[in-house]
């Protein structure tokens, strides 16, 4: 019997961070409850491009954590045969043909840190990765990162939830929003809007964009750079694209059923946030995003929208993940990051290990909430 069988943890949030942490806790023998205000996997995880990568430039600590995240996906793919919803077919990126183009610089940087990278001339792309209109690529060329890929997060969350159930995990989705209960200065459980209380020795808050506001109610600041997300899913169609594309005007990845998932910075900027908190994308924005995708795809196919997904995009103020215990509040843990897909498995694993063992993870040390205390 595990030494953790007497430990109880409540996880608020049913996205990839919450579910991953809960499953890893259950694997360690911890009695774990997920509390969510409705169906699982319907928040930020449902509108993520879910590009698995550590491309371009970031801090060494963040790069190392992302590389560990990619490693966990390779392990999962080898062990589970995830088929259509987890693919590691590479990523292709290029910049605009202007003074801001950094492709040569980024290529040299990725080479220097040992990240798998190739600089391709437009005419050489087809021989390496199919499905791209070479005429759309800037003359400076494109970078192909063979170790990258994408995941369908709702499918991954479904897989993890099945295991969570098999390990006697408990799920509460009908109690409305939840708050952390503090007793004598430490987290002691969760209270739902309906009044249901889940007693716990530790709590994990993995509620996406609302993590900073929840921490604020406990008197702790987390820098918040949350913006808007818009993910458009096209209708399925036959096409040879396999890699994730990141281009000046659109990012594209295939989906499990042969459609494309699309997003971009400019289309997110055009999303309207109404006074009642609802989000709206104008028809012209949707049409423009579909048109930009068509321009970079081989054959320039006419794309039609199947669905769109809007809401807040969780981003810490400094761009780096926030993972671990709030300063001075034992048992109150948070997970807040823009990199939900890439970090989903590794963040849950490391945080669960900390909670179960009481031993901090060195990999998570640079990402503590304490950095915002000042």
Residue 159 placed within a domain = yes
Residue 349 placed within a domain = yes
Residue 71 placed within a domain = no
Statement to judge: residues 161 and 303 lie in one domain = no
Statement to judge: residues 28 and 167 lie in one domain = yes
The residue written with tokens 């671990």 in the block is 324
Statement to judge: residues 239 and 302 lie in one domain = yes
Statement to judge: residues 170 and 23 lie in one domain = yes
Residue 324 placed within a domain = yes
Distances (CA, A) of 220 to 37, 79, 106, 327, 369: 23, 40, 37, 8, 9
DSSP three-state, residue 161? helix
Number of structural domains in the chain: 2
Identify the domain containing residue 27 by its residue range: 8-46+154-224+317-372
> 10 Å Cβ neighbour count for 245?
25
pLDDT, position 374: 78
Statement to judge: residues 190 and 300 lie in one domain = no
Residue 70 placed within a domain = no
pLDDT, position 177: 93
Positive or negative: CA dihedral 78, 80, 81, 82: negative
pLDDT, position 80: 81
Closest CA to 205 of 11, 34, 346, 340: 11
pLDDT, position 83: 79
Statement to judge: residues 322 and 219 lie in one domain = yes
Residue 358 placed within a domain = yes
10-residue stretch averages of pLDDT, the chain, 374 residues long: 76 98 98 96 94 98 98 94 90 98 98 98 98 98 98 96 98 94 98 96 98 98 98 98 98 98 98 96 98 98 98 98 98 97 98 98 98 92
Statement to judge: residues 162 and 237 lie in one domain = no
Statement to judge: residues 250 and 280 lie in one domain = yes
Strand partners, 9: 32, 202
Statement to judge: residues 332 and 211 lie in one domain = yes
Question: For residue 208, is it left (φ>0), alpha (ψ between -120 and 50) or beta?
Answer: left
CATH at residue 290: 3.30.9.10
CATH at residue 206: 3.50.50.60
Statement to judge: residues 237 and 354 lie in one domain = no
Residue 73 placed within a domain = no
Strand partners, 156: none
CA angle 189, 193, 199 (to 5 degrees): 15
Statement to judge: residues 162 and 143 lie in one domain = no
| Residue where a domain terminates, one of 313, 345, 364 | 313
pTM above 0.95, yes or no: yes
Distance CA 46, CA 153 (A): 7
| CA 273 to chain centroid | 22
Statement to judge: residues 105 and 120 lie in one domain = yes
């Amino acid at each position: 019997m595990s030494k953790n069988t007497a430990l109880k943890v409540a996880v608020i949030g049913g996205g990839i961070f919450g579910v991953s942490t809960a499953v890893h806790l259950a694997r360690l023998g911890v009695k774990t409850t997920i509390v969510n205000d409705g169906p699982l996997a319907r928040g930020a995880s449902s509108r993520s491009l879910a590009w698995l990568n550590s491309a371009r430039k970031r801090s060494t600590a963040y790069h190392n954590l992302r590389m560990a995240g990619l490693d966990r996906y390779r392990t999962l793919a080898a062990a589970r045969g995830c088929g259509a919803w987890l693919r590691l077919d590479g990523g292709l990126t290029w910049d605009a043909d202007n003074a801001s183009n950094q492709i040569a610089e980024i290529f040299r940087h990725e080479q220097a840190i040992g990240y798998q990278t190739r600089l391709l001339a437009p005419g050489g792309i087809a021989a390496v990765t199919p499905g791209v209109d070479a005429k759309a690529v800037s003359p400076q060329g494109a970078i192909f990162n063979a170790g990258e890929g994408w995941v369908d997060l709702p499918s991954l969350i479904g897989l993890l939830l099945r295991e969570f159930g098999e390990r006697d995990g408990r799920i509460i989705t009908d109690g409305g929003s939840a708050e952390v209960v503090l007793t004598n200065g430490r987290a002691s459980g969760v209270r739902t809007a309906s009044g249901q209380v889940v007693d716990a020795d530790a709590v994990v808050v993995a509620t996406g964009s609302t993590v900073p506001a929840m921490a604020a109610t406990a008197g702790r600041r987390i820098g918040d750079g949350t913006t808007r997300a818009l993910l458009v899913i096209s209708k399925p169609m036959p096409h040879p694209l396999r890699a994730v594309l990141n281009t000046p005007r659109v990012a594209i990845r295939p989906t499990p059923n042969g459609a494309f998932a699309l997003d971009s910075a400019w289309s997110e900027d055009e999303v309207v946030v109404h006074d009642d908190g609802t989000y709206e994308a104008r028809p012209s924005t949707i049409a423009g995003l579909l048109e930009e995708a068509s321009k970079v795809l081989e054959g320039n196919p006419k794309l039609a929208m199947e669905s769109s997904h809007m809401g807040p995009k969780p981003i810490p103020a400094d761009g780096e993940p926030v993972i671990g215990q709030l300063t001075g509040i034992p048992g109150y843990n948070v997970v807040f990051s823009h990199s939900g897909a890439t970090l989903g498995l590794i963040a849950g694993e490391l945080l669960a290990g900390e909670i179960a063992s009481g031993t901090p993870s060195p990999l998570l040390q640079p990402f503590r909430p304490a950095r915002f205390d000042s």
